[in-house]
Each structure stands twice: as structure tokens, then as C-alpha cells.
Structure 1
Amino acid sequence: MTLVILAFVVLLVMGLPVAFAIAGAAAMFFFQNPSLPFTIPAQQTITQTQNFALLAIPLFVLAGNLMNHTGLTRRLLDLVTALLGHFRGGLAQASLALSAMMGGVSGSAIADASMQARMLGPEMIARGVPKAHTAAILSFGSILTPIIPPGIGMILYGTIGQVSIGQLFAAGIIPAMFLWAALAAAVAIQARRGDWAPERARRLAPRELPGVLGAGFWALLFPVILLLGLRSGLFTPSEIGALAVIYALLVGLVVFRELSARGFGMAMSDTLADIGSVMLLISVSASLSYAMILERVPETLAGYIAGLPGGMEVVMLVAVLGVILAGFVIDATVLIIMLTPILLPMMRSLGADPVHFGIVFIIAASVGNSTPPVGAAMYSVCSILGCPVGSYARASVLLLLAIALVTCLLVFLPGIVLFLPSVLI
């Protein structure tokens, strides 16, 4: 297995796309074991695409892309700007709130970061927020997106680990609010140090609140429908994804009447591009996961980590630190696909709740989207805004510290994560 891991690292360093690096490493394993039929990789790849639960991913991505072309995202921005624009760096605070709300719309951190970089980035810079801080805030704010239902990471983790996706959806809400509060506090510190200007001259008057909330009503309603549908047992995660697409079409065609034929075509095109990359990763990872299970990698790793002094929380903290470090060089989606079969059985054997560990694990994996050297959200934002990665990294230290503190809190206080699933699901 050592040569397989080495092949994967070498292929990554050579600049090969991650999916092809995974496929190459898996091929190396089967070349090393000629007694195994070489039809197994093909079978594993095809079988992985037949998983009905994974149908939720393209459906939620399509729903999110449709909503971006209905005017719903713009109305959400107006809502959060009205509520938070009077703070220093009001647009920066509004971007975090928009990320929290966009979790119930797009489910994709990279899509959220890219959209906000185009929509808010130039405006934040024009209002005195340094370019590096603008890029860091927009990138790290997108970490909220996969934690709020319907996050794609939750669907992957739940499908691979046989964990209730409905419980994961409910469990992500309170931790996301904690992350939002921590990031907002970090931005407030940066804004005070940099004397960033507010977006609005005054706080929103109480008489203006009903009109502002009304404008964002249809966006705020979607997560409620999602959770109620799962809680009542009317829909499976895949079926609720189909409902999300229907909801997006109704909002765009009937409520706002802003979804044009061109917008629909762009939403379909964006969805095909997003889903193509995700499903390719899922498919080729099946063979590598098969190899790891056959070589008993999960059991071996579990033996090493479980031997650490301390309780289950210490082991989880070490596992989370390892995931964050791995995220510096491996995409979050790949981490979830590759490490769930390894880490989840280990944590279950130590008595950890799979929903609790899943939320902490997804947060840790998502950090890699915003950290050098391979963070996809980071590169997307820096490319759009023309920001050097070095400047970005220096500006993101406080934001990374805020996320680390919340992650540690969630590890040692599982009740924060498990409260809503115990009540709703």
C-alpha cells in the first residue's frame, strides 16, 4: 500500500488532476496484485454511479444554479445588507450572512465563493476593505455553505458511511451559526483595526423590517420546507432534491418571473460542469477505497490513533487535525470520499456518534477549500479579484483561528451538534 500512496502523491505533485491521480494510484494497486481480476476497478466505478442516494447531489446543484438566475440571490443580498450594513465593514459582514443563507440554496462552497467574489468583491474593495482581506473573507465565509442543508459534503458522508442524511442536515444548522458568529467576530476585529467604512449610515428602523424580510421570504422558506419534508417522512434526500428543483422553477417562473430561457440554459450548463467533476471523483475513488479496505488500512490506522492517551474526544481532535492538514493538499470532496470509510468505523468503535463526528469532519475537510496550496475556493476568489496567494494567506490567519476554535468546541461539546437532530428527526 506504500507504493500506492506514493504514486498518488507523485501524480498530484506532477500536476495531474486529482481524479486521475486517484485512478492512477488505484491502478498501481491492481498491477501489484495480479491475482485480483482487473475487472474489479471497472465494476467498482460503475457500481458507485448507481447509488440512488447520490442523485440528491445533481438535483441540489441544479436547484442552486436555477435560484442564482431567478433574482433570489440578489434579494438575499439586499436583506443581509439592510440588516448588517450599519456595522464597520458592513459588506464584509453581509457576505458572511449571505454565505449562511446560501447554504440552503447552493450547497457548494466553491460556487458560493465564486458568486460572491463577482458580486461583492469589487464593491468591498471600493469601500476600503483591502483586496487580500476581501478575498479571505469571501473564501472562508463559503465554509458555512457545506454545513447548512443541503450541503453536498453531508450527502457524500451520509451515503458512504450509511448515516442518516436527514439527521446530518438538522445537525449542521447550530454549528453553522457558531461558525458564522466566530467569523463575524473576527471580521469585526479586522474592520476596527482597518477602520473599514459601514455600508449604511444608520441601523435598520423597526418599521422597515417587515418589508426587508418579505423580500427574502422565498429564500428563507426553502430550508424550512427541506427540514419539514425530511422530518415528516414525506421525502427521502433524493426526493427532496427533486422538490428543490421544482421550487426553484416555481420561484423563477411564477413568483419573481425572472428566469429566462438564457438563464435556464446557463444554469443547466453550470450544473453539468459541476456534477461532471464531482461524479468523476466519486466514481474513481471507489477503486481506491476498495484497495484500502482490502489492505485493512482503516483497522491499522484505527489501531494507531486509538492507542493515543486520552478519551474519544482527544482521538477525534487528532483525526480532525489530520484532516485539516490533508486538506492543504487534497480537495474537500476527495477527503470526504476517501477518509469516511477509514475514520468513521474507527470513531464508531470508540463510541463516537456518527452524526457528531460527521459534522466536525465535514467542517475540517471544508477548511481545505480555503487554504493554500490547493484550495479551490481560495484560487477561485484570488483569480477573480487578482489577489496574490501570499497576501491572502496573511489576511486569513484570524479567520482560520476562529474556525479552529469553534471546531474544538464542537468536538468537546457534542450536544451542540446533536440537539436539533434529537428534536427534529
Structure 2
Amino acid sequence: MSVAIACIVLLFLFILNTPIFISVLVAILTYFYMAGDISPLIAVQRIIGAGENVTLLAIPFFILLGNLLNYTGITHRMLRFTGVLSGHYPGGLAQSNVLLSTMMGGLSASNLADCAMLSKMLVPEMTKLGYSRSFSTAVTAAGSLITPIIPPGIALIIYGFVADVSIGKMFMAAIVPGLLCCVALMFTIYLISKKRGYLPARAHGPTCRELWEAGKGATSALILILVIIGGIRFGIFTPTEAGAIAVVFVIIIGAVFYREMTMKDIAASLLETARSTASVMLIIMTCSALAWVLTNEQIAQDLAVVMTGFSDNPYIFLLIVNLVLLFLGMFIEGNAAIIVLVPLLMPTVRLLGIDPIHFGVMMILNLAIGCLTPPMGTVMFVATSITGTKIADFLREVLPLLAALIVVLLMVTFIPALTTFLPAL
């Protein structure tokens, strides 16, 4: 009874648009007050203990890395490179927008940071070239959803921490689904652009000379991606060490080689990182305590019985999970959902013989899609607030892009080899 009341309180606070960590904390306190026989000190221990895991040190480093990129000039150089690669297709700048998000996903690690940066940088340029503001905003928001999937997305780190699986393998497993999302979005943009007459940004495809000139500017970013992914995969360093090394690399590139970064920029990045890390960690800590409450009440066992009662076919189970997550993703922030739901679903996942790595990538992609949908779509709100686009106009334009991402989600769900091939090498 106490856990049911706590869940009702949680949903009510979500409806009131209360910050997630406050909503979860109030629900936890409600549970301990109603339970009576369980000491509230356990809640304090669970909240504090969740923040003491060394694995989570990777999060502030990758958030800092994403913030520093705004001041180094790397982003603008990568935009020129993606423009050379894809600018000759119909809807050239929109194509470059998605391709840039895919490349930045290996660096920024945060879809909100990626969406905010590209909304400020590319949406005004797209509207000048004749794209509608709502379409430009929808493309930017949809492209930024690739960020949590392409390594080293923060969601991959959090899932690895909660599910107790290799973060390095999670990084490798997410590469192919991330690239599939990029291809699906670019193909959808191609069809829309052909229909509406959005012209290419360039008259011809890339020449060897143009690729060489543009590639030189993007070399630092490409090296950085290889260092992060390759170093972790081959056991040279941990994800936390990779984040620290990447931060030092970007500072040296921005301050010494490009000379576009100042001490003031570094200080601003540190301040932004402190704020973002505090927000993420508060969600992780409170949701970890909530996950303990649900486990203590044996919700996981009950959920396993209910779900396996429909069918013991793993694909039926994955389909049900997808439908549930697509619904929950409309209301719950992705990282919070991972922390709460993974401990509940993992016993059933292992019972049915589903690879936890495959399940994790599917879950992260599913919850990323929820960031585009009302009423709690965080990416949707960031993009529309920055560009001044009406929610109704945004939703109308984003529907084809959303459909493309759902097709990729179904491919990832029912073709496990897409996620298990690279980790198994």
C-alpha cells in the first residue's frame, strides 16, 4: 500500500512539472513515512551511496568535454567537413545538421547540450536559406537524439553502472545503431527536401582537394573520437580516464593550436559543467534510492511474473517493453528511467536469455525517442524555446523523423546482431 501511494505522489508531481529529483525525493519520503517500520536512514544511505561510485566520475569529464567544444573552434571545423560530405544532397544544410550531430555525439555526450548548441548555430542559417523554422528545429532536435546513442553518451555509462555490464562493450554496441539513426534521418530529410524543393547547399559532390582541406580542420575531433573509443575498447584506460584525457586534449588543441580558447572560456565551461553534473547526479542519487524501494517491495519479481505470463518468447517481451518505454518516455527523463527500471527488468531479461548489452542499447534508443514527444520531451522543449517555434508546428514537422527513428528501434530490437557484433569481435 505504501509503495502504491508513493507512486501516485510521484505521478502527481510529474503532472505538476516538478523537477524530477524533487518529485522522486518526495515520493521516497512518502514511502518511508507510510511504511513506518523502515528507518528513514536507509533512504539517506541509499541516496548518498549512489553518488560514491567511481564509475560515475566519467560523467562530469564528458559533460566538461562537450562544454569545452563550444570554445575551441572544433565544432565549426566539423560543420565545414560535414558540409563538404553531404551538402550536395537535397536539403544540404539539413543533411549536414544530422551528420554533425552524429560526429558530435562521440564528443559532447549530452543530447541537450548538442541540441542547444546546434539550435543556436544552425537553425538561423537554415531559415535564411529558405527552410521553415519549424522544420529546421525538428531536424536539429531529431539529430541530437543520436548523441546519447553514439559513444560516449552519458546514458551508456549510467546503464553500464546500473546493469553491471562493461561500459566499453556498451560503447562498441551502440556504434551501429547510432549510424543507422543517422542514415534513417538523412534519408527521410532527402525525401522531404525533394518534395518541398529544398535545394542542395553545394552544386557538386566533394572533390579530393575539398575533402583534404576540410578534413584537416576536423582531424583533431576524429582523433579524439578514436582515442576515446579505441582506448576504452582495448583496455588502455577506463571511461573516467578517457574523459580526463579527452578534456586535456581539447584544452591543448583550443588554447595552443587553434588559439580560440581563453582562461575565461575554460572557467565558463567549468561552471556550466558543475551545474549540469549537479543536476544529473541529483537524479541518479534519488532514483537509485527509489529503485531500492521498488526492489525491496519485490516489484521486480511481480513484474517478471506479469510479463512472462503473456509469453516466454523473448521477442514478445522486448515488444512489450518497447511499448511501455515509449509511453513512459513521454513522462520520465531517460536517465531517471534507466536507473529505476533496469533493476526491475534485468531479472526477466536474464531469465529469457536476452543479452543485457543488446537490451541496454534498445532501451536507451527507446528513451531517447521519448525526448521528442510531449508532455515531458526535454529535447523538444530545449529546441523550441531557443528557436521560438510553436510546439504544434514542431510536432507536425517532427513526425516523419520520429517514424524513421522508430523503424531503427524495431531493427535494433529484432536484429540483436546489430548491437552484439562489434562487442563480440
Q: CA deviation at 1:367?
A: 1.0
Kindly report which structure 2 residues correspond to 1:101-180, keeping only aligned pairs within 5 A, or say none.
101-180=103-182
Amino acid in the other structure paired with 1:28: T
Q: Is 1:59–1:241's contact at 8 Å kept on the other side of the alignment?
A: yes
Q: CA deviation at 1:310?
A: 6.2
Q: Is 2:81–2:217's contact at 8 Å kept on the other side of the alignment?
A: yes
Provide the rounded CA distance (Å) in 1 between the counterparts of 2:204 and 2:361.
37
Q: CA deviation at 1:179?
A: 0.8
Provide the rounded CA distance (Å) in 1 between the counterparts of 2:294 and 2:357.
23
> What secondary structure is seen at the aligned counterpart in 2 of 1:314?
helix
Provide the rounded CA distance (Å) in 2 between the counterparts of 1:176 and 1:365.
14
Residue 269 (str. 1) matches residue 271 (str. 2): yes
Residue 3 (str. 1) matches residue 5 (str. 2): yes
Q: Is 1:89–1:188's contact at 8 Å kept on the other side of the alignment?
A: yes
With structure 1 as the length reference, what TM-score do the two structures score? 0.97
Kindly report which structure 2 residues correspond to 1:200-211, keeping only aligned pairs within 5 A, or say none.
200-211=202-213
Provide the rounded CA distance (Å) in 2 between the counterparts of 1:372 and 1:327.
9
The aligned residue for residue 78 of structure 1 is: 80
> What secondary structure is seen at the aligned counterpart in 2 of 1:36?
coil
> What secondary structure is seen at the aligned counterpart in 2 of 1:370?
coil
The aligned residue for residue 65 of structure 1 is: 67
The aligned residue for residue 237 of structure 1 is: 239
Provide the rounded CA distance (Å) in 1 between the counterparts of 2:231 and 2:408.
29
Q: CA deviation at 1:395?
A: 0.9
Amino acid in the other structure paired with 2:117: M
> What secondary structure is seen at the aligned counterpart in 2 of 1:374?
coil
Q: CA deviation at 1:108?
A: 0.3
Q: CA deviation at 1:169?
A: 0.4
With structure 2 as the length reference, what TM-score do the two structures score? 0.97
How many residues get paired? 423
- Structure 1: 5+ residue runs without aligned partners? none
Task: Give the root-mean-square deviation of aligned CA atoms.
Answer: 1.2
Of the candidates 292, 305, 308, which is equivalent to residue 306 of structure 1?
308
The aligned residue for residue 199 of structure 1 is: 201
> What secondary structure is seen at the aligned counterpart in 2 of 1:101?
helix
Provide the rounded CA distance (Å) in 2 between the counterparts of 1:45 and 1:170.
30
Q: CA deviation at 1:87?
A: 1.3
Q: Is 2:74–2:217's contact at 8 Å kept on the other side of the alignment?
A: no
Provide the rounded CA distance (Å) in 1 between the counterparts of 2:211 and 2:95.
18
Provide the rounded CA distance (Å) in 2 between the counterparts of 1:268 and 1:127.
35
Provide the rounded CA distance (Å) in 2 between the counterparts of 1:171 and 1:402.
20
Q: Is 1:155–1:165's contact at 8 Å kept on the other side of the alignment?
A: yes
Provide the rounded CA distance (Å) in 2 between the counterparts of 1:86 and 1:414.
34
Q: Is 2:312–2:352's contact at 8 Å kept on the other side of the alignment?
A: no
Kindly report which structure 2 residues correspond to 1:12-51, keeping only aligned pairs within 5 A, or say none.
12-51=14-53
The aligned residue for residue 221 of structure 2 is: 219
Q: Is 1:110–1:369's contact at 8 Å kept on the other side of the alignment?
A: no
The aligned residue for residue 183 of structure 1 is: 185
Provide the rounded CA distance (Å) in 1 between the counterparts of 2:387 and 2:68.
25
Does 247-256 or 62-71 show the bigger shift? 247-256
Deviations 1:117-160 (A, max 9, x none): 00001111111111111111111111110111110000000001
Q: Is 2:101–2:146's contact at 8 Å kept on the other side of the alignment?
A: yes
Kindly report which structure 2 residues correspond to 1:341-380, keeping only aligned pairs within 5 A, or say none.
341-380=343-382
The aligned residue for residue 341 of structure 2 is: 339
Provide the rounded CA distance (Å) in 1 between the counterparts of 2:142 and 2:396.
13
Amino acid in the other structure paired with 2:292: Y
Q: Is 2:77–2:214's contact at 8 Å kept on the other side of the alignment?
A: no
> What secondary structure is seen at the aligned counterpart in 2 of 1:181?
helix
Provide the rounded CA distance (Å) in 1 between the counterparts of 2:225 and 2:350.
29
Q: CA deviation at 1:309?
A: 3.1
Amino acid in the other structure paired with 1:112: D
Provide the rounded CA distance (Å) in 1 between the counterparts of 2:93 and 2:270.
30
Sequence identity of aligned pairs in percent?
34
Provide the rounded CA distance (Å) in 1 between the counterparts of 2:374 and 2:129.
27
- Structure 2: 5+ residue runs without aligned partners? none
Provide the rounded CA distance (Å) in 2 between the counterparts of 1:38 and 1:205.
66
Which aligned runs of 4 or more in structure 1 are off by greater than 3 angstroms?
none
Provide the rounded CA distance (Å) in 1 between the counterparts of 2:233 and 2:406.
31
Q: Is 1:56–1:237's contact at 8 Å kept on the other side of the alignment?
A: yes
> What secondary structure is seen at the aligned counterpart in 1 of 2:148?
helix
> What secondary structure is seen at the aligned counterpart in 2 of 1:105?
helix
Q: CA deviation at 1:345?
A: 2.3
> What secondary structure is seen at the aligned counterpart in 1 of 2:107?
coil
Amino acid in the other structure paired with 1:331: E
Q: CA deviation at 1:402?
A: 0.6
